[in-house]
Chain A
Amino acid sequence: MSDVLTRDMKTFKRTREIRSTDILFAIANRPDRQSVLLGSSDSGVYELDLTVEKPERIKFSGPGHRSYVTGIAVMDSQAVSCGYDGQLVWWDLQTRQAIRTIDAHDKWIRRLMSVPSRNAFVSVADDMRCRVWDAGSGERIADFTDHKAMTEHHFPSMLYAVAASPDGRWIATGDRVGHIAIWDTQTWAKKAELEAPVMYTWDPKARRHSIGGIRSLAFSPDSSQLAVGGTGKINNIDHLEGRSRLEVFDWHKGTRLHEFEDEKRKGLVEQIVWIPGTTWILAVGGDNKGFLTFFDTATNTMLHQDGCEGHIHGVTWDANVASLLVAAHERVEVWSWEKTAV
Chain B
Amino acid sequence: MKIDPSVCLTRRRLLGAAAIGASGMAANMAQVELLSQPAFAEQLQQADKSVILLWLAGGASQLETWDPKPGRPTGGPFAKIQTCIPGIEISELLPKMSSRLHETAIIRSLNTKIADHGQAYEVMDTGRIREPGVQFPHLGAIIAHELANSHSDVPDYVEMYTSTEGRRKGAAGYLGARYNPMFLTESMMPENLKRLESIRDADHQERADLQRYLSQQFSMKLRNPIVDSHNTAFQRVRGLMSSDYLFDIERESRAMRDHYGPTQFGEQCLIARRLAEAGVPFVKVARAWWDSHGQNFETHQELCADLDFVMAALLDDLKQRGMLERTLVITLGEFGRTPQINGSLGRDHFASAWSCTLSGCGIRGGSVYGKTDEDGKTVVEGETNAGDLFATILAALGIDPKKEIMLGSRPIPLADFGSKPIQEILA
Interface residues, chain A, with chain B CB atoms under 8 Å away: 21-23, 41-43, 66-68, 84-85, 108, 126, 153-156, 158, 205-211, 238-241, 267, 286-290, 310-311, 329
Given contacts A21-B73, A238-B289, A238-B292, 7 further A-B contacts (CB under 8 A): A126-B301, A154-B262, A156-B302, A207-B58, A239-B344, A240-B294, A240-B344
Given contacts A84-B77, A238-B294, contact A311 B288 (CB under 8 A): no
Question: Judging by beta carbons under 8 Å apart, are B73 and A240 in contact?
Answer: no
Q: Interface residues of A: mostly helix, strand, loop or mixed?
A: loop
Question: Judging by beta carbons under 8 Å apart, are A311 and B345 in contact?
Answer: yes
How many Å lie between the Cα of A168 and that of B78 in the bound state? 34
Question: What distance in Å separates the Cβ of A331 from its nearest Cβ neighbour in chain B?
Answer: 10
Which of A43, A210, A286 lies in contact with B343, CB distance below 8 A? Answer: A286
Which of B71, B288, B298 lies in contact with A211, CB distance below 8 A? Answer: B298
Question: Judging by beta carbons under 8 Å apart, are B289 and A206 in contact?
Answer: yes
Question: Judging by beta carbons under 8 Å apart, are A239 and B164 in contact?
Answer: no
B188 lies within 8 A of chain A by Cβ: no
Please indicate the chain A residues that have their CB under 8 angstroms from the CB of B293 in the complex.
238-239
Count A-B contacts at CB 8 Å: 92
How many Å lie between the Cα of A15 and that of B341 in the bound state? 26
B6 lies within 8 A of chain A by Cβ: no
Smallest Cβ-Cβ distance to A176: which chain B residue:
B298
A-B pairs with beta carbons under 8 Å apart, 15 shown: A67-B78, A126-B301, A155-B301, A155-B302, A156-B302, A206-B288, A207-B163, A208-B288, A211-B298, A211-B299, A238-B289, A286-B344, A290-B343, A311-B343, A311-B344
Please indicate the chain B residues that have their CB under 8 angstroms from the CB of A311 in the complex.
343-345
Question: Judging by beta carbons under 8 Å apart, are A68 and B77 in contact?
Answer: yes
Question: Judging by beta carbons under 8 Å apart, are B77 and A108 in contact?
Answer: yes
Q: Interface residues of B: mostly helix, strand, loop or mixed?
A: loop
Question: Judging by beta carbons under 8 Å apart, are A210 and B79 in contact?
Answer: no
Question: What distance in Å separates the Cβ of B57 from its nearest Cβ neighbour in chain A?
Answer: 9
Question: What distance in Å separates the Cβ of B271 from its nearest Cβ neighbour in chain A?
Answer: 17
Given contacts A207-B163, A208-B163, A240-B294, contact A154 B261 (CB under 8 A): yes
How many Å lie between the Cα of A160 and that of B262 in the bound state? 25
- Per-residue CB proximity of B125-169 to A under 8 Å, as 1/0? 000000000000000000000000000000000000011110000
Question: What distance in Å separates the Cβ of A323 from its nearest Cβ neighbour in chain B?
Answer: 23
Interface pairs A-B: 9 shortest CB-CB: A207-B289, A288-B343, A240-B294, A155-B302, A84-B77, A206-B165, A329-B343, A68-B77, A311-B343
How many Å lie between the Cα of A151 and that of B343 in the bound state? 26
Question: What distance in Å separates the Cβ of A241 from its nearest Cβ neighbour in chain B?
Answer: 8
Please indicate the chain A residues that have their CB under 8 angstroms from the CB of B306 in the complex.
154-155
How many Å lie between the Cα of A209 and that of B293 in the bound state? 14
How many Å lie between the Cα of A85 and that of B70 in the bound state? 12
Question: Judging by beta carbons under 8 Å apart, are B79 and A287 in contact?
Answer: no
Question: What distance in Å separates the Cβ of B348 from its nearest Cβ neighbour in chain A?
Answer: 10
B305 lies within 8 A of chain A by Cβ: yes
- Per-residue CB proximity of B37-70 to A under 8 Å, as 1/0? 0000000000000000000001000000000001
Smallest Cβ-Cβ distance to B292: which chain A residue:
A238
